[in-house]
């Protein structure tokens, strides 16, 4: 069969490639972003309880009312924003929410602006729907957005701007001023924002997370995407949600209902109950910051230079003092020869821009990080 691909340039994701290589050579896997420790047993018991209570059939298409109410309450407490449960849709992880948001608004010929390096799922979904990606490239070492030069990418065809805060792979966060600058650029236009905030609770050094939901004007034009996977150490459950104003939620659900219809029922019951205890997520900054600092301190004195991580699971390292080979080669060689797997950052740029930087995931047990530190000190 002569099958001409709709995504000819898409291969296997770097996360799969590097995790496979790590397994193959028995390396410590600091590449793909997932915890190597278990979630709270209380959460597991809740799922078991609801399965035992026969909560095993389809839930309502937008998500269980009790879960959407618990999410709205949490948003009010943490972001000071009033969101109606009808503007929340429970999804199969952040990934499916991102897919539905893009799919529901991007038409052939529309332009979508991405800030690169960008998480790898955005671009293929835009292209699958005939959209054209325009990229704003960030550069080492500070990777900051200059909104003035960013504004040159906006045209009458711009339909959507995708932001990611805290940022994967950079570990950078957006400030209130960043959101205000973005707001000025889109104010008076029909441009929508897709704000990927899956690491909303993983922000360090006492900083606040600035959600689009806390910005009254941006909130009215944004899809905000979240993941229970990151917040409760359950990336394998694939549970998340999308918050958007009514007209956008209406379009989002038209796709959602035929994409997945509804998501895992016992997990929704369990999360609705578990979310009510704030301490289940408010301690995350300290918990992950300790891991970030442990890795950073451990690697002090090596030729890997850290680039400040303000949030997320990730810490970037500049390896230019060790080698000048391409980051993809370096990451593979480091995995094979030194036994620690990392993600090369160039794969997140459409242009392949190579800043000689790798990403390490510190969402790991101290024991795992300790092993990695020992191995990397040999480099
Ligand atoms: N966005 C970003 C920035 C991510 O890092 C991830 C996953 N690690 C996702 C979205 C997807 O989230 P989920 O696993 O809930 O689908
Ligand atoms: N988001 C995770 C990461 O950045 C991986 C998710 C995936 O494997 N698709 O590593």
- pLDDT score at 159: 98
Query: What atom in ligand 2 is closest to the CA of residue 121?
Result: 9
Q: Which domains does the chain have, with CATH numbers?
A: 14-32+283-376 (3.90.1150.10), 41-280 (3.40.640.10)
- For 44, left (φ over 0), alpha (ψ -120 to 50), or beta? alpha
* Distance (Å, whole) CA 77 – CA 65: 18
32 CA from centroid of ligand 2 (Å): 5
* Distance (Å, whole) CA 259 – CA 104: 11
323 CA from centroid of ligand 1 (Å): 30
Torsion of CA 32, 225, 167, 81, to 10 degrees: -140
CB neighbour list of residue 239: distance below 8 Å, 6 or more residues apart = 90, 91, 92, 93, 227, 228, 229, 263, 264, 267, 268, 271
Which of 19, 93, 97, 309 to probe ligand 1 with, by most ligand atoms within 8 A of CB?
Answer: 93
The kind and range of the H/E element at 125 are helix 122-128
* Distance (Å, whole) CA 213 – CA 80: 8
Per the CB < 8 A criterion, the answer to whether 225 and 195 are in contact is yes
* Distance (Å, whole) CA 356 – CA 327: 5
33 lines ligand 1 (CB under 6 A): yes
Instruction: List per-residue pLDDT tens for the chain, 379 residues long.
Output: 889 999 998 989 999 999 999 999 999 999 999 999 999 999 999 999 999 999 999 999 999 999 999 999 999 999 999 999 999 999 999 999 999 999 999 999 999 999 999 999 999 999 999 999 999 999 999 999 999 999 999 999 999 999 999 999 999 999 999 999 999 999 999 999 999 999 999 999 999 999 999 999 999 999 999 999 999 999 999 999 999 999 999 999 999 999 999 999 999 999 999 999 999 999 999 999 999 999 999 999 999 999 999 999 999 999 999 999 999 999 999 999 999 999 999 999 999 999 999 999 999 999 999 999 999 999 9
Q: Residue holding tokens 């019951």?
A: 269
- pLDDT score at 1: 87
- pLDDT score at 2: 85
């Amino acid at each position: 069969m002569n099958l001409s691909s709709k995504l000819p340039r898409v291969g296997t994701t770097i996360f799969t490639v590097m995790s496979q290589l790590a397994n193959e050579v028995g390396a410590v896997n600091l590449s793909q972003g997932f915890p190597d420790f278990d979630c709270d047993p209380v959460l597991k018991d809740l799922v078991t309880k609801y399965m035992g209570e026969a909560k095993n059939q389809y839930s309502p298409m937008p998500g269980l009312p009790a879960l959407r109410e618990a999410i709205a309450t949490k948003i009010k407490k943490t972001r000071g924003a009033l969101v109606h449960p009808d503007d929340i849709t429970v999804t199969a992880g952040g990934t499916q929410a991102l897919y539905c948001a893009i799919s529901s608004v991007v038409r052939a010929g529309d332009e979508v602006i991405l800030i690169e390096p960008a998480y790898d799922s955005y671009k293929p979904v835009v292209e699958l729907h005939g959209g054209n990606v325009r990229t704003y490239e960030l550069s080492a070492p500070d990777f900051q957005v200059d909104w003035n030069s960013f504004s040159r990418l906006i045209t009458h065809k711009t339909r959507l701007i995708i932001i990611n805060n805290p940022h994967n792979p950079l570990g950078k966060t957006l400030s209130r001023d960043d959101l205000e600058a973005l707001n000025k650029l889109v104010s008076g236009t029909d441009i929508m924002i897709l704000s990927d905030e899956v690491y909303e609770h993983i922000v360090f050094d006492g900083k606040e997370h600035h959600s689009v939901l806390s910005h009254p004007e941006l909130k009215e034009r944004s899809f905000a995407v979240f993941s229970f996977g990151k917040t409760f150490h359950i990336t394998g459950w694939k549970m998340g949600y999308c918050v958007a104003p009514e007209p956008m939620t209406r379009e989002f659900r038209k796709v959602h209902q035929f994409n997945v219809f509804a998501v895992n029922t016992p997990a929704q019951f369990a999360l609705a109950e578990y979310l009510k205890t704030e301490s289940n997520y408010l301690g995350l900054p300290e918990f992950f910051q300790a891991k970030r600092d442990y890795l950073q301190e451990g690697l002090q004195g090596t030729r890997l230079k850290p680039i400040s991580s303000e949030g997320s699971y990730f810490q970037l390292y500049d390896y230019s003092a060790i080698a000048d080979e391409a980051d993809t080669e370096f990451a593979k060689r480091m995995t094979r020869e030194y036994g620690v797997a990392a993600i090369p950052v160039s794969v997140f740029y459409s242009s392949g821009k190579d800043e000689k930087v790798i990403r390490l995931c510190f969402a790991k047990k101290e024991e795992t990080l300790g092993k990695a530190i020992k191995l990397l000190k040999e480099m």
